[in-house]
Structure 1
């Protein structure tokens, strides 16, 4: 086998991991794919004879590319960065194949990605690499141009923000689905009490419709429940899906055109967060088949 073919095979064996790193860093599936492609281009023009851990080397390259992209996002804008929901990873619950498994492996909650967007680029990198992928701070430090001790502090600051703002969902998908179905049924029936029964008192709803102002957020069981009643007609065309590893809903027009993708975070038997992407332009660009 030629060296290029061997190198290509080696790269493909790491692609899923690299894409997962890039997606968590950037929150955009297309940007993540671009970062992985850039890593391949750099690998193709590098002498790897002295590289003893190709996976680690590629992870470092992707991390540097993502860090540059995050910094570029900030420097291009004079105004504060407009918050938006990250690109969702959507799959059907009846899928049981390698592609489905890869999608689930890539998944990280939308609520968590929203919080990661509020971190500085170096905080995000330190947290993602260490807390999500177990990269030692001695390897993170050169990427961010800081000491290992400072890299540790960056991840610690990020960790505190994440814990306070992005609760992890219960792992039982069956229970998640039950609650989401109860929520949809109550919305369809105009049942305010039924909605209140499945929502946490401090539930937060985030919706990104692509309109001016970006991501809108409302909080509190009464406000969210009353808002859900106004979407009863849309709820009539809803399909259960998995959104970033948690129970969710794909709503469409009667003709099948996507209207929104919703992910629900369930904690201790109640829905604590609802994240809705309803930006028609972005929905058209995503693979929702």
Structure 2
């Protein structure tokens, strides 16, 4: 199996990869591994501080807000946490947790702590509400672990006059097979690679005249399009001359799609905790390790 990042990708947190010399079973194994076995950081425990607080003018604020604590904790769990896999271990593998009950686990080697303390508008403020966002979380540690700027606008809850919210959130490593909050990617999919073939220039003009951004010039001298992004664009355009549009009879399969044997286009989006390249590499390493272990067990059984 060979892999190659398609030209022009990744784009932000989305990536497309061409996998060759493989079959659908192997591509699907990578897809499942990305969803279930690639670890990432996620907030798994939240401690809410309850009671009252007072500002410098003597005004009291109470620890109540528009949402139950459980809902806020769920929203916190889905915030992408910067993940450095080579710097942290799973809580169960942390030597500092050995001999302790699970509720006592926690050391700098296996968790990141975030703190949030924010008040709603004061009685003198004309604003009626204040939105608490992911950017209001402050990491108790290295600044590189701060919530990424692109995710800081994620809303958590709303505070009214006289309300405040304070909590400590604890992020740990986990895998998507245990909870969706630890899944590093979504929209993980693949399809067999295709090339577009121009069969009839005259009839294909029906499609080109629709001004959909595709033309005869997109085809090479051999009448084929092999660029993966361009093939996808052509496929979308061809929906306008497909069955039910009233143009399919005149178009008469003037352009066809041919599948390429043993080649697949693989794509997914990460949540930003890890780069797309890191997610794919981790999945391949996990899959490889699994097969090595399986071979060793088979050798033992058959010895």
- Higher share in strand: 2
TM-score (norm 1): 0.19
Higher relative contact order (CA 8 A, sep 6+): 2
Higher Cα Rg, which structure: 2
The alignment's TM-score, normalised by the length of structure 2, stands at: 0.19
Higher percent of residues as helix: 1
